Amino acid sequence: MKTYTAKASEIQREWRVIDADGATLGRLASQVATLLRGKHRAMFTPSLDTGDPVIIVNAAKIKVTGNKLKDKMYVRHSGYPGGFRAENLERLLARRPEEVIRRAVRGMLPQNRLGDQMLRKLHVYAGSEHPHAAQKPQKLGTETQALKEATR
């Protein structure tokens, strides 16, 4: 029995839209990372980017559990003396909600050039509008949206 390896010419990409309204940050990020890597496909190949482009709308309306709004810190350093900067989740979510989701998804992708290539297929928007209508994206629900609809 031979192992099947996908070829770049065989990959068919389908654009996906996910509404982040009411979704939990980590659960949403893991679902998006799976789509970006292509692990939802039978032809998944770890060394190739077999994933789909993903559009996330309503990024400003995500939810987090516990005290993460105040306790979770995003840190960086410029490399210069006194260049340490820290910001909590609440402040970053108010300032740049797209960046919160982008960073969460980035941490779940491979930390190499392939991961960078996958991350370029992620498009995050704070509001409900996006400029990718020409790609005819498929609407994809999150687990929390499926639960909301089931209880109605």
Identify the bridge partners of residue 19 per DSSP, sorted by sequence position: 57
pLDDT at 20: 96
pLDDT band at 114 (very low <50, low <70, confident <90, very high): very high
Handedness of CA 128, 144, 100, 53 (dihedral sign): negative
pLDDT at 120 over 60: yes
Question: Residue 97 CB: number of other CB atoms within 10 A?
Answer: 21
Average pLDDT, the chain: 93
Alpha-carbon Rg for the chain, nearest whole angstrom, is 17
Percent of all residues in the chain with a pLDDT value above 70, rounded to a whole number: 93
pLDDT at 1: 82
Section 12-24 average pLDDT: 96
Domain boundaries, the chain: 15-151
Gap between the Cα atoms of 23 and 61, Å rounded: 8
3-state secondary structure of 49: coil
**In this predicted model, what pLDDT tens digit does every residue of 31-63 receive, in sequence order?**
999 999 999 999 999 999 999 999 999 999 999
pLDDT at 141: 76
Per the confidence metrics, is the pTM higher than 0.75?
A: yes
For residues 57-96, one letter each, b for 16 or more C-beta atoms within 10 angstroms of the residue's C-beta and e for the rest, the string is bbbbbbebeeeeeeebeeeeeeeeeeeeeebebeebbeeb
CATH number of 15-151: 3.90.1180.10
